[in-house]
A and B are shown apart, each in its own frame.
Chain A
Amino acid sequence: MAGKPGTTPTTYSPSPTNQKIRRPIFNENEVDWVRPDGRGFHQCRPAFFRTGAVNAASGSAYAEFGNTKVIVSVFGPRESKKAMMYSDIGRLNCSVSYTTFATPARGQGSEHKDFSSMLHKSLEGAIILETFPKTTVDVFALVLESGGSDLPVVISCASLALADAGILMHDLVASVSLSCLGKNLVIDPILEEESYQDGGLLITCMPSRYEVTQLTVTGEWSTPKINEGMQLCLDACSKLAKIMRSCLKEATSTSQE
């Protein structure tokens, strides 16, 4: 029944595709349009974190921001691959993949190489690699459902999973992204807003140390806008880190009971 061998019929999604044409969700000149989910421009989606989602892993975390749902597992420190050279410091290996049903149109469910390397770059500065020489820590993320701002959610969730696994870090890593839509800056954009954005900005930082581990700017930006956007993101990051910290505290207090 399930696909006779050799027959892979071509299929298409019946969801209307003509709506992909840029729909004016906001007016270029007006400042008082409403975001599709009714949030204010500088308001993030409610964040939900839970550690210990995967028992088989050394540490894990689940994050849910609106419709964006992410699960991250951390394995190790464990033996590095045989082919790797001796190393005084530990290695970090990151991989981000999507489920086939994560996106509105059915995807391939393969690894997202760009996000994997971005995740690696934003975490490696925070982890104290000297504490596990010769070994590797694997950070694997799976995006269960993509609802926009996927990468920042993955990064924040990954740092929580690392903390859950007991990997030494300088600080938790919090990440927030922002879209520039015409004259407005909207923080923590959803998928729809991301698809219309003129520019995007992603900040990954260690809020207690006030250090940025990664900053990515894409698209069209003016310098004052970048400054404004960065400040917004940094403020949001420190708030996010508080939520993450309380989640960790909660997890340890319940396990002690």
Chain B
Amino acid sequence: MGLPDAPGDLSSEVDVDAFRRLFPLRFYERHLTESIRPDGRPLGRARDTTIALGAVASAEGSALAKIGSTTMLAAIKMEVMTPSMDSPDEGCIAIDFHMPPICSPIVRPGRPAEIAPVVSKQLSDTISSSGMINLKELSLVSGKAAWMAYLDIYCLDADGALFDAALLSAVAAFSHLQIPAVSLNDDGKIVVVSEENGGKLEKDAVNKERMKLTLKSIPFSLTCVLHKNYILADPTAEEESIMETVVTVVLDSSSQLVSLYKPGGPVLAYTSAIQDCVALTRQRMKELQKILDEANSGMEVD
């Protein structure tokens, strides 16, 4: 940016793509003054979002969530564990977020993305803070056996707002989760009741029917980029890298603030900006709730 006047003079001659690469910040600021973004969105609008449930047949619950081109595949595998002494009638949830090398040019095998463990931690914090899942529902035999839900989320395509897409896929996978019917066998192990031997083991059945978890207060999130006085909802990877200040707001369906996350960044967030981000998240929450409900009702028809 050493040539303050040059970009202005060049803009008429240089091809748009070249200008975008050479002076990314100017390119964006020029759009922002017109209240529009390069992909045609107004500043406050999120990208198209879709959820597909049951994407992984080998898992008890799974979902594929897409926000723009950011794609997340979440799957839950249920295993049995002995609950800890402190909470004998509670199950456990283990959340892991993966960024395999396929998702982005900056991740290479053997050199995992720095952000992956951070998103992973944020996800477990958010899901536990929101109280969405009652861990007591994951109990099987008090003090003896409980469910361990392994939730693994894979980022298949990284194009900004990773946490939002990951949380959406996680929530959707839990809404799709079917806990298998199990019974206690003679060795004191929990086994799945299969169709053929279901009858004879019924006296020891722990979970008679396949069941779904009751999800209360589902958390939804929206990430915004702050730049000067502008607030851009649901940034792409390019927007995140050019304008570095991001704020992620997580609200749950009872309108509680589950998380307000702003890791540094050159722009300071004043009260008014925070309130604007919260308001945008409220709107977004309604959209996401609708998309999730539609995905779930689509499953029931099948």
| Chain A residues with a Cβ under 8 A of chain B | 1-4, 7, 9-16, 53-57, 60, 67, 71-73, 75, 78, 95, 97, 99-104, 106, 109, 111, 138, 140-142, 144-146
Contacts of B152 in A (CB 8 A): 99-101, 109
A9, B82: Cβ atoms under 8 Å?
yes
CB of A110, distance to nearest CB on chain B (Å): 10
Interface centre among A7, A9, A146 (most CB of B within 10 A): A9
In the A-B complex, the 5 residue pairs with the smallest Cβ-Cβ separation, listed nearest first, are A2-B124, A1-B128, A11-B79, A73-B102, A101-B75
Point out the residue from B75, B78, B156 that lies within 8 Å of A71, measured CB to CB.
B156
- Quick check: is B283 within 8 A (CB to CB) of the other chain? no
A102, B58: Cβ atoms under 8 Å?
yes
Contacts of A9 in B (CB 8 A): 81-84, 92, 148
Given A73-B101, A78-B105, A109-B98, verify A55-B159 contact (CB < 8 Å).
yes
Majority-rule SS of A interface residues: loop
B93, A57: Cβ atoms under 8 Å?
no
Given A95-B109, A109-B98, verify A101-B180 contact (CB < 8 Å).
no
Q: A14-B80, A101-B150, A102-B58 are in contact. List 8 more A-B contacts (CB 8 A).
A: A2-B128, A9-B81, A55-B159, A95-B109, A99-B98, A99-B100, A99-B152, A142-B102
Instruction: Specify the chain A residue showing the minimal Cβ separation from B105.
Output: A75
Instruction: Specify the chain B residue showing the minimal Cβ separation from A94.
Output: B109
Q: Tell me how many residue pairs across A and B have CB atoms closer than 8 Å.
A: 134
Q: Interface range on chain B: under 10, 10 to 19, 20 to 34, or 35 or more?
A: 35 or more
Q: List 18 A-B contacts (CB under 8 A).
A: A1-B124, A1-B127, A2-B124, A2-B127, A2-B128, A7-B84, A9-B84, A12-B189, A13-B77, A14-B190, A14-B192, A16-B192, A60-B102, A73-B102, A78-B105, A99-B75, A100-B98, A142-B156
Contacts of A140 in B (CB 8 A): 100-102, 109
| Chain B residues with a Cβ under 8 A of chain A | 56-59, 62, 69, 71, 73, 75, 77-84, 92-96, 98, 100-105, 108-109, 124, 127-128, 135, 148, 150, 152, 154, 156-159, 180, 182, 189-192, 194, 237
CB of A210, distance to nearest CB on chain B (Å): 31
In the complex, A10→B94 CA distance in Å?
12
In the complex, A11→B62 CA distance in Å?
20
Interface centre among B73, B82, B194 (most CB of A within 10 A): B73
A100, B77: Cβ atoms under 8 Å?
yes
Contacts of B62 in A (CB 8 A): 101
CB of B62, distance to nearest CB on chain A (Å): 8
Contacts of B182 in A (CB 8 A): 14
In the complex, A15→B190 CA distance in Å?
9
Point out the residue from A11, A16, A60, A103 that lies within 8 Å of B58, measured CB to CB.
A103
CB of B3, distance to nearest CB on chain A (Å): 27
A10, B77: Cβ atoms under 8 Å?
no
Contacts of A16 in B (CB 8 A): 191-192, 194
Point out the residue from B94, B100, B105, B109 that lies within 8 Å of A2, measured CB to CB.
B94
A100, B158: Cβ atoms under 8 Å?
no
Contacts of B157 in A (CB 8 A): 53-56
Instruction: Specify the chain A residue showing the minimal Cβ separation from B185.
Output: A16
B102, A141: Cβ atoms under 8 Å?
yes
B56, A101: Cβ atoms under 8 Å?
yes
Contacts of A103 in B (CB 8 A): 58
In the complex, A146→B57 CA distance in Å?
10
B101, A1: Cβ atoms under 8 Å?
no
